[in-house]
Structures are given as C-alpha cells and as structure tokens.
Amino acid sequence: MSYYALMPLDDVDVKPGTDSADVGWFDVDTLPTLAFDHEKIISVARDRLTAKMDYSTVGLMFMPEEFTLSEVQSLYETVSGGSRDKRNFRKWLLGLGIVEETGEKKAEGAHRPAMLYRLKDKADVMIIR
C-alpha cells in the first residue's frame, strides 16, 4: 500500500532509513534505479496528480504569493510531463476567476516584463472545477 502527499519542500526532511543507503531529490523523468515496485508507485502518483490538476486548481497551491501565468503553466507541464497550449491554458486559468493581477510586473532576461498575479482567496485553491 502506498500514499502520496502534496506539501511544501521546506517541510520535508529527507534522510536515509534502515533499508536505504542514500536518498535525495531527483527529477521524476530521470530517476535512478528504484527498488521493488517503487517506479510503478511513482508513475501512478504522477498520473493521479496530473489528472487532478486537469479538473481542479490544486496546482496553484505550489505557487508563491505572486506568480506569472508562465510559471503556473510551467508547473502544470512539469507535473504532467507534457506541453500545454499557452493561449488555452491562460484562458482556462483566468476564466476560473480565482487569480487577479497585482499591478506589478516581473522582468526576467531580455523579454518583456510579465504581469504578476495572486490568488484572490487561498480557500479557492482546492475547488474542483
């Protein structure tokens, strides 16, 4: 039996147990060889999280206080392992009515500064749509 949980990275203390020599954080697409059926367990957890993010706003719980729409899209793409159409993703997210512009912009690199957003109400994050 296995479970998965979503929690802030800072709340997780990763250390070896009695049956492991070494532990650490790895990109889910480049995991080292895992014991037993742990690869299958991680695959199922990723599939379930991807599905949940397709019909809910749970992905927003991973975002900082202020974020760009590109950052949210990048998170969704990282979890699912696939790309999403930029225009449709933004239309979906803004159409939910749970994020608002902060009036500030974030400048990174040579690109035009991106508008910063925030959640209107943190209680909206778990609403299943």
Q: What is the pTM of this model?
A: 0.76
What would the CATH number be for the domain defined by 38-126? 1.10.10.10
Beta bridge partners of residue 16, listed in sequence order: none
Per-residue pLDDT reduced to its tens digit, 30-54: 888 888 898 999 999 999 888 888 8
Say how many C-beta atoms besides its own lie within 10 A of residue 53's C-beta: 17
Burial class (CB in 10 A: 0-12, 13-18, 19+), 114: middle
Per-residue pLDDT reduced to its tens digit, 59-103: 888 889 999 999 999 999 988 888 999 999 999 999 989 999 999
Compute the distance between CA of residue 45 and CA of residue 39 in angstroms, rounded to an integer. 10
Element (H, E) at 90: helix 86-95
Phi, psi of 90 (to 5 degrees): -65, -40
